[in-house]
Amino acid sequence: MPRCPAGHDSAAPDFCDVCGIRMAPPRPARRAGPEEGPPCPNCSTPRTGRFCEECGHDFSLDDATQPDGRLPAIRPEPPRPPAEGRSTPSAPGEGPGESRPSVPGLWRAVITADPAFYQAMADRGMLDPRRLAFPAQTPRRRVPLNRPEIHIGRRSRRRGIVPEIDLAGPPEDVAVSHRHAVLLARPGGAWVIVDLGAVNGTTINGTDNPIEPHREYEVHDGDRVYVGAWTVITLQKG
């Protein structure tokens, strides 16, 4: 029996009998080729891009390793002496000359439900409003971007998925993939977003065309990321 993007078994071939989301077309059989690398070290899923389709593992970290499996040696710069007459305190848990990885500060994600986006999805035939209604209660949520990687998706206890931006609700947006997208911190306080191959795609600032999966797209203060059936994630700095 076919299964919808939200994981429900459905006898109907067009829209899910349970949640009303449009059924995804069957994926074509994948042929092994030279572009495919070794399987995922975490779950053994064949590699088809930068990120593992099953667990989200970043293969670029493996590509940076040496043949013996070690990361290439990086020679740290010597610590700079503090300005004369001033001392530089260390953060808790840091010794002299040590520093923690920098994370862009003062950024946050504001999650809301957008009725206009929901209607556009219905107009494009991506969902059946008779089966998947717009939620009556749509509380606004704020999530600080306080880690180098912020995953967007829906939690799954069975699969061990706990994204930082969890759209499992309430209200649950069933059109969001469990591993939908990820925000990655970049030097200088910048952020990029990567679609992890989500069935219903990811769009930015209301465009009709989803971003290409497994590619980085820089995002800026005020940008709106649209996922699922009604979810909009607004990125704010300061």
Domain spans, the chain? 37-71, 107-237
- At residue 40, the pLDDT reads 72
What does the alpha-carbon distance between residue 237 and residue 193 come to, in Å, rounded to a whole number?
15
Q: How far apart are CA 33 and CA 176, in angstroms?
A: 30
How much is the pLDDT for 52? 63
User: What pLDDT score was predicted for residue 106?
Assistant: 85
pLDDT score of 141: 95
Query: Measuring CA to CA, which residue among 121, 225, 227 is closest to residue 173?
Result: 227
Q: Where are the alpha helices (DSSP H) in 83-180?
A: 115-123
Strand order in the sheet with 216-219: 165-166, 149-153, 179-186, 190-195, 216-219
**Residue 192: per-residue pLDDT:** 98
207, 201 Cβ separation under 8 angstroms: no
The first and second tokens of residue 165, run together, are: 């931006």
Task: Give the pLDDT confidence score for residue 36 in this predicted structure.
Answer: 57
Q: Is CATH 2.60.40.650 what the domain over 107-237 is classified as, yes or no? A: no
Q: How far apart are CA 174 and CA 28, in angstroms?
A: 24
16-67: pLDDT as tens digits: 766 666 666 655 544 444 445 677 766 666 777 766 665 555 566 565 544 4
What is the largest distance, in Å, between two alpha-carbon atoms of the chain?
75
Let me know if 13 is exposed, middle or buried by CB neighbors in 10 A (0-12, 13-18, 19+): exposed
- Position 84 scores a pLDDT of 45
Distance CA 163, CA 173 (A): 14
**What is the DSSP-derived secondary structure letter of residue 39?**
P
Those residues of the chain that have pLDDT short of 50 are 29-35, 65-102
